[in-house]
Amino acid sequence: MNKKSYIVTLILMPLALIGLISIQVYWVNSSINNKEEAFTHSVQQTLNSVAELVELREINRYMTRFIELKGKDSLGSLKSSQIRDLVFVQEDKKTKETFTYKHQVLEEGYKVPSELFNLPKGDTTQIRNYVSKQTSRTFGSNKGIDGQPFNNTTIKEKTGRITSFDKAMFEELFREISVKLSIEDRITTSQLNSLIERELKNRGLNIDFEFAVYDKSLPSDKQRTSVSSLKFNPKMNNIYTIPLLRNQEGASHYELEVQFPDRQRYLLSSVIMMAIWVLIFTSVIVWAFAKTLIQLRTQKQISEIKTDFINNMTHEFKTPIATINLALDAMKNPQVMQDYDKMSFYIKMLRDENKRMHAHVENVLQISKLDRNQVEIEKEPLDAHELIDNAVAHVQLLIDDRKGRIKKHLQAENSDILANEMHFTNVIVNILENAIKYSPEAPEIDVFTEVAHNKLVIRIQDKGQGMSKAVLKKVFEKFYREHTGDLHNVKGHGLGLAYVKRIVKYHDGEVYAESEKGKGSTFFIKIPLII
């Protein structure tokens, strides 16, 4: 992936992720809002039904008592008067028959005693009832058996109550009188609770509720009546209200307030599973996105490291190969062939350069085996001080060539460790070689040992160019090398310290570094002691 494609991908992927998450959040939020609107609509319908049922039940209750009193002749003397008379007349000229229809509306007046509306004793109320009377007559002339003509008359009468009028007039009367009644005489807490619960269940709302009836005609501190549930909280938000027990003008002194303590949980319950799945899938997408970005970054780094590694390895092999070629050309010279000392010199040069290339290849193979866990490290009791001496002797020629020095401060009382001689020696050698490589001037290296918490601490300190904090974090990564301007001014392929970390880990130890740019670096190795 080229740089341009990488940047475009890096921009588009976050935008797509943000867009997807925004859509999901909007969808969940819309579902909650729709649920809330549906809930509010159902609650409002419930309250409307409750208000109507309360008024209807109250009117029917008093109308039943009115009918009972009327049946017992307890309504006083009846006074009737005609308030409407409709007459229809039709004559058939052929048959000489005349049809008449008469519809009368009669008004009946009653005096209602006080016990009907629970009014003060002795009070009476005038009630008017309306009765419908219908009469139809047919007049005609026929001949009898003797052939003589006679008049034939048919009369039909129908009398009944005008139900709609009767009910309307009673409702009007009751709404006017009911203002004088207390709320406790009109509805009880249990009755109102049953009505609300039933109407909620009819609309599929199985949710706890609290309610209270307020009397708006009272002072603000006394508005709440005794018709109320025990846990009603007037300070709670989202209280639903509706006028209750209206008069004939539609106005009401009372207001029913209903609240739902578990409203929010009820609204969320319907979308909670959907929200959980959205959260899970979103988390998976975010995780996949993060992994993709990390993978893209890693691939880019690997590509750069691969190029760097190939260049460095080419450079590392180029020098010994060139040296070998020069030595071989020199050995072809007859004079050189006859000179034993010169032949020995060139043979030694060939052997050294061959060992050098073999060491490079071996390091790559060792790291590869370590990555695949194919390296078998056999440990045995060893003296760490002897291993350090061997490692110092191994790099002494490099130190002498750079006109540097290595000082040993082996002060640990106990230096017995369980280790692999070859691999642990290579660990010390690699750190020493790293200190030599990154010392611009003559290398000055100090090696210290001490005992701390049943562990042997090996401290290798140099006065080289040091490392920045960013470099320090990556110094033990495979193939990583710090560049100092020229890509190949420092020999190596970035495997040495990675190898060190892996081997120390196999020895149940730890390795880390401290460094400051321009002041040198210090490497610490901690290995368990044999006690």
Compute how many other C-beta atoms are within 10 angstroms of the C-beta atom of residue 58: 18
Residue 489 lies in a domain: yes
Compute how many other C-beta atoms are within 10 angstroms of the C-beta atom of residue 1: 12
Residue 414 tokens, joined: 């106990």
> What residues make up the domain containing 150?
75-180
Task: State residue 489's pLDDT score.
Answer: 43
Q: What share of the chain is helix, strand, coil (3-state, %, to 5)?
A: 50, 25, 25
Task: State residue 144's pLDDT score.
Answer: 47
CATH number of domain containing 385: 3.30.565.10
Residues 524 and 388 in one domain: yes
Residue 387 tokens, joined: 């291993």
Q: Under 8 Å CB-to-CB from 421, ≥6 apart: which residues? A: 380, 382, 387
Q: Which tens digits make up the pLDDT trace of 101-145?
A: 666 666 666 565 555 555 555 555 555 566 666 676 666 655 544
Residues 192 and 43 in one domain: yes
Question: 3-class DSSP state for residue 375?
Answer: coil
Residue 350 lies in a domain: no
Q: Give how many domains the chain has, as a whole number.
A: 3
Q: Please, are residues 37 and 267 in contact by the beta-carbon 8 Å criterion?
A: no
Task: State residue 246's pLDDT score.
Answer: 78
> What CA–CA distance (Å, rounded) separates 209 from 257?
10
Task: Using 70 as the pLDDT threshold, list the residues of the chain that sit under it.
Answer: 1-3, 6, 62-63, 65-99, 101-134, 136-180, 221, 248-249, 270, 301-302, 304-306, 308-313, 315-316, 319, 356, 359-360, 362-376, 478-496
Residue 94 lies in a domain: yes
Last residue of one domain, picked from the residues 125, 152, 180: 180
Last residue of one domain, picked from the residues 261, 282, 314: 261
Residues 168 and 212 in one domain: no
Task: State residue 345's pLDDT score.
Answer: 84
Q: Which tens digits make up the pLDDT trace of 370-391?
A: 656 655 678 899 999 999 998 8
Residue 129 lies in a domain: yes
Residues 254 and 191 in one domain: yes
Task: State residue 511's pLDDT score.
Answer: 93
Residues 30 and 40 in one domain: yes
Task: State residue 31's pLDDT score.
Answer: 80
Q: How far is CA 404 from CA 196, 393, 431, 437, in A?
A: 96, 14, 16, 12
Residues 175 and 187 in one domain: no
Residue 122 tokens, joined: 């002795």
Residue 318 lies in a domain: no
> What CA–CA distance (Å, rounded) separates 439 from 192?
93
Residues 11 and 141 in one domain: no
Residues 128 and 195 in one domain: no
Burial grade of 139 (CB within 10 A; 0-12, 13-18, 19 or more) = middle
Residues 105 and 24 in one domain: no
Of 286, 531, 321, 494, nearest to 413 by C-alpha is 531
Which own/partner pairs from 217-221 qualify as long-range (CB within 8 Å, at least 24 positions apart)?
217/253
Task: State residue 102's pLDDT score.
Answer: 66
Q: Please, are residues 478 and 462 in contact by the beta-carbon 8 Å criterion?
A: no
Q: Please, are residues 136 and 24 in contact by the beta-carbon 8 Å criterion?
A: no
Residue 37 tokens, joined: 């609107």
Residues 382 and 521 in one domain: yes
Residues 24 and 83 in one domain: no
Last residue of one domain, picked from the residues 235, 261, 287: 261
Residue 121 lies in a domain: yes
Residues 523 and 412 in one domain: yes
Task: State residue 120's pLDDT score.
Answer: 54
pTM of the model: 0.42
Task: State residue 486's pLDDT score.
Answer: 42
Residue 295 lies in a domain: no
Task: State residue 525's pLDDT score.
Answer: 95
Q: Please, are residues 1 and 296 in contact by the beta-carbon 8 Å criterion?
A: yes
Residue 162 lies in a domain: yes
